[in-house]
Structure 1
Amino acid sequence: MASPNGPHEGPVGVEQLGLDEGMVVQELGWDEDVDQELRDDVMDVIDAELIEDAVEAVDVVLLWLRDESDVADALVDALRDLSDSGYIWLLTPKIGRPGYVDPADINEGANTAGLALTSVVEVSTDWQARKVVRPRSSRR
């Protein structure tokens, strides 16, 4: 079945993120190199703008991260406005792209932050996304 948004790759990537209309999505780590088409697709799906400074708990955080960043610190910062049932999509450049983050560094950072990695999805030509959640055992 064809995507209602046309044949380009973006909607396929955004569908894998599990977003729904009305969700509050915070974006952290934006820079000139992010995938603008993916961002636009996310805003189309949630039917709202991405927010930077939250005034309420958010459902999802899109965290753009590159190799010069400390993974654990970035994930802890992303938790600040995240609802108890919310999750983080950690977006990193794919292998061979500028800013690539080694998966071992991502695993170590998630463990240090007390978080769990669940799935990895290809969301665009240059970016992949890892879903990061609070472990069930740590929820109170």
Structure 2
Amino acid sequence: MVAAGDAEQSSVAERLGIKPDMVVQEIGWDEDVDDDLRAAIEEQIGGDILDEDADEVIEVVLLWWRDDDGDLVDALIDAKTPMATDGVIWVLTPKNGQPGHVEPSDIAEAVSTVGLAQTSNISAAPGWSGTRLVPPKSNTKR
């Protein structure tokens, strides 16, 4: 039997577009990340989330980002470098009112600077919001 919290996190993993056997990388892990969401993603992919030193081609990047983490543009450039052509970056930021909250305008500015497109926002986990970033359609190979 699946507990309600586990089912909710599994549902979030699915809403993040995480599918079995996907290659998922995590950047910006710290003590404050949501471990239930991480566990649900690992269960969904049937393996471990890769750390930021991974050499594989990445399908989904989870970028945990807080206001005092540095330059978001640099972090997004680093995150998109190993990403598959049709890959996705989820910028996970503390929700409004939480320590480390990042203004949506700051994310939008960084996204346009690095040549990505923002497609959606979700409530990713208790205390965390997710912003989905993808390469613009005009830049994808056919």
> How does the TM-score come out when normalised to structure 2?
0.91
Specify the alignment match of 1:57 in structure 2: 57
Moved more, 102-111 or 54-63: 54-63
Asked if 1:6 corresponds to 2:3, the answer is yes
Cα deviation per residue 1:106-130 (whole Å; 9 max; x = unaligned)? 0000001111100101111100111
Q: How many residues of Structure 1 are paired with residues of Structure 2 in the alignment?
A: 137
Partner of 1:82: 83
Alignment of 1:133 onto 2:134: yes
Higher mean C-alpha displacement, 22-31 vs 11-20:
11-20
Does structure 2 conserve the Cα–Cα contact (< 8 Å) formed by 1:117 and 1:131?
Answer: yes
Q: Secondary structure at the match of 1:20?
A: coil
Q: Quick check: 1:37 aligned with 2:36?
A: yes
Question: 1:16 is matched by which residue type in structure 2?
Answer: R
More helix by share: 2
Q: Unaligned 5+ residue runs, structure 1?
A: none
Secondary structure of the corresponding residue to residue 108 of structure 1: helix
Per-residue CA deviation, residues 13-63 of structure 1 (Å, 9 max, x unaligned), is: 222111111000010000111001110110000011011122220111110
Matched, 1:118 2:119: yes
Larger mean CA deviation between 71-80 and 95-104 belongs to 71-80
Secondary structure class of the residue paired with 2:84: strand
Give the distance between the partners of 1:132 and 1:91, measured in 2 at CA: 11
For the 8 Å contact 1:94–1:100, the answer to whether it is kept is yes
- Separation in structure 1 between the aligned mates of residue 43 and residue 2 of structure 2, nearest angstrom: 10
Identity of paired residues, percent?
44
CA distance in 2, matches of 1:92, 1:45: 22
C-alpha distance in structure 2 between counterparts of 1:31 and 1:91, whole Å: 12
Q: Contact conserved, 2:73 with 2:110, CA < 8 A, in 1?
A: yes
1:85 to partner: Cα distance: 1.2
Post-superposition, which runs of at least 4 consecutive aligned residues in structure 1 deviate over 3 A?
A: none
Q: Measure the CA separation in 2 of the matches of 1:132 and 1:73.
A: 15
* CA apart distance, 1:12: 2.8
